[in-house]
Amino acid sequence: MSHMFCFLIISDFSPAGILTKKTKLYKDTSRLEVPLLRKIVLFLVLTLLISAWSGVYAAPAPAAPQAKPVIDLPQINSGQSTESAGANQLLELSKVRWANHTEAVTGAAKLRLVMDVSGGPVEASGVVVATPTPRLVVTIKGTTPGKSVENINFDGKIAEKVTFDTSGQDTQVIVDLPVMLEDGDYRVFTLRSDAQANKPFRVVVDINKPAPVFDFSFTPGLKNKVIAIDPGHGGSDPGAIGPSGYQEKTATLAVAQNVKNLLEKAGARVIMTRQDDRDVYGPNATAVDELKARTTVADSRKADVFISIHANSFTDRAVGGTATYYYQKTRYDAMLARALQTGLIEAGKLQDRRANPANFYVIKRTRMPAALVELAFISNPDEEKLLSSPEFQQKMSLGIVRGLERFFDQAAKLN
Ligand SMILES: [Zn+2]
């Protein structure tokens, strides 16, 4: 852009001799003002032009403190620098490597990402964000991802995936994480280039996943417990829909709000993944993003237990009953599910479909003991009616709270 601008201006004004001739031709003093004005305009335009050029070329060198750029920045020489005019003077991320390491004894795992920067040094820094999903965002200043740099998919043990993006003059390396990291769990640093070892300037990201220690110590009672309640579905996702049109998301929210009130009366602190009819991540997010947003809420607020509330559905409308699911990642998950299931059956008196193991995302990916309850079958016309009635909603809420009391009493005995 600036080169084009420059060319047009010069073709109009640069034969300065013409102006002089014209000045001589027009002896008429009234006309003398015109060339004079032109000179002033020319002067102003050139001044503007020079400042525009220095804006392009004199941009601060993307250098780290105490480090001198290895490459030379383009010099202002003539107006003919057509190649570089307007082009970004960004260094390039030329290559990305990674390695995984797991300690056999402790189970602690480590992921190292190494990014080569041709012509570095550059500055890099990282920050962990919890929303919309857990991420480590590394900003590498004054760089752009090279053509060979591709996004990487991981197994989700330490990282889900790494995405390379540009943000203004910087590269953003976005590491999607399965769970929130603490500040001490990652490190971003740079390594100088080493000509002898033929190594370029490097940006290194280390992510440490500590050994899976589940250090829970439960006491009896609900007082001061931090309980995450996840009303299933919401917003753009109605969940299952009953034969007469009642939606799962409505029942789960009503029961969750009752549970919240009861727990708070008992002195517990309640964290809701949603308080109203909305998506937790955002409208029409992918299923995983939406579920991860829910586990992130519980993880980042350090809940003691996590309960996801749902209603079941099946093609056969005669099928009904209450079930609870768990993923045994701590020694408490099954215990929590059984206690909740007992509470729910005592309260609602529906068919006991028991506490069962399952691989559901929200109970697997939360750090704390978790359970997913299926209150009743919304596909069953009788149970749909129950689910929509405030009396049954309140009964089942009480069942959940009694189940939680039972759980903390049992868990306290394990200490
Ligand atoms: Zn559901």
pLDDT value of residue 82: 33
- How far apart are the CA of 375 and the centre of ligand 1, in A? 10
Element (H, E) at 188: strand 186-191
Per-residue pLDDT of the chain (415 residues; tens, 9 = 90+): 333 332 222 222 233 333 333 333 333 333 444 455 566 555 555 555 444 433 332 333 333 333 333 333 232 223 333 333 334 578 999 999 998 887 665 567 889 999 999 887 899 999 988 777 789 999 999 999 999 999 999 887 888 899 999 999 999 999 998 877 777 889 999 999 888 888 999 999 999 876 555 678 899 999 999 999 999 999 999 999 999 999 999 999 999 999 999 999 999 999 999 999 998 888 888 888 888 889 888 888 889 999 999 999 999 999 999 999 998 888 899 999 999 999 999 999 999 999 999 989 899 888 899 999 999 999 999 999 999 999 999 999 999 999 999 999 999 998 7
Model pLDDT, residue 156: 79
Apex 400 CA angle, 395 and 401, nearest 5: 95
Tell me what pLDDT residue 302 has.
Answer: 85
Cα(252) to ligand 1 centroid in Å equals 8
**Contact yes or no for 322/350 (Cβ under 8 A):** yes
Structure confidence at residue 35 (pLDDT) = 55
**312 CA distance to ligand 1 middle (Å):** 6
Give the Å distance between the CA of 233 and the centre of ligand 1. 6
Coil, helix or strand at residue 24: helix
Quote the pTM value.
0.56
374 carries an active-site annotation: yes
Distance 281 CA to ligand 1 centre (A): 16
Q: How far is the CA of 331 from the centre of ligand 1 (A)?
A: 25
Q: For CA atoms 402, 407, 410, 413, give the dihedral sign.
A: negative
- Please report how the helices 29-57 and 2-13 are oriented relative to each other, as an axis angle in degrees rounded to 10: 160
The count of other CB atoms within 10 Å of the CB of residue 33 is: 10
Q: Are 254 and 298 in contact (CB under 8 A)?
A: no
Residue 380 CA to residue 267 CA, distance in Å, equals 36
Q: Is 194 exposed, middle or buried (0-12, 13-18, 19+ CB in 10 A)?
A: exposed
Contact of 185 with 372, CB cutoff 8 Å: no
How far apart, in whole angstroms, are the C-alpha atoms of residue 318 and residue 351?
12
Residue tagged active-site, from 123, 374, 383, 405: 374
- Residue 72: what pLDDT? 30
Host H or E run for residue 264: helix 248-265
Q: Which residues surround ligand 1, an ion (CB under 5 A)?
A: 232, 239, 310
How many residues belong to the chain? Answer: 415
- What's the pLDDT score for residue 158? 86
DSSP state of 302: T
Instruction: Report how far apart, in Å, the C-alpha atoms of 238 and of each of 242, 311, 393 are.
Output: 11, 11, 18
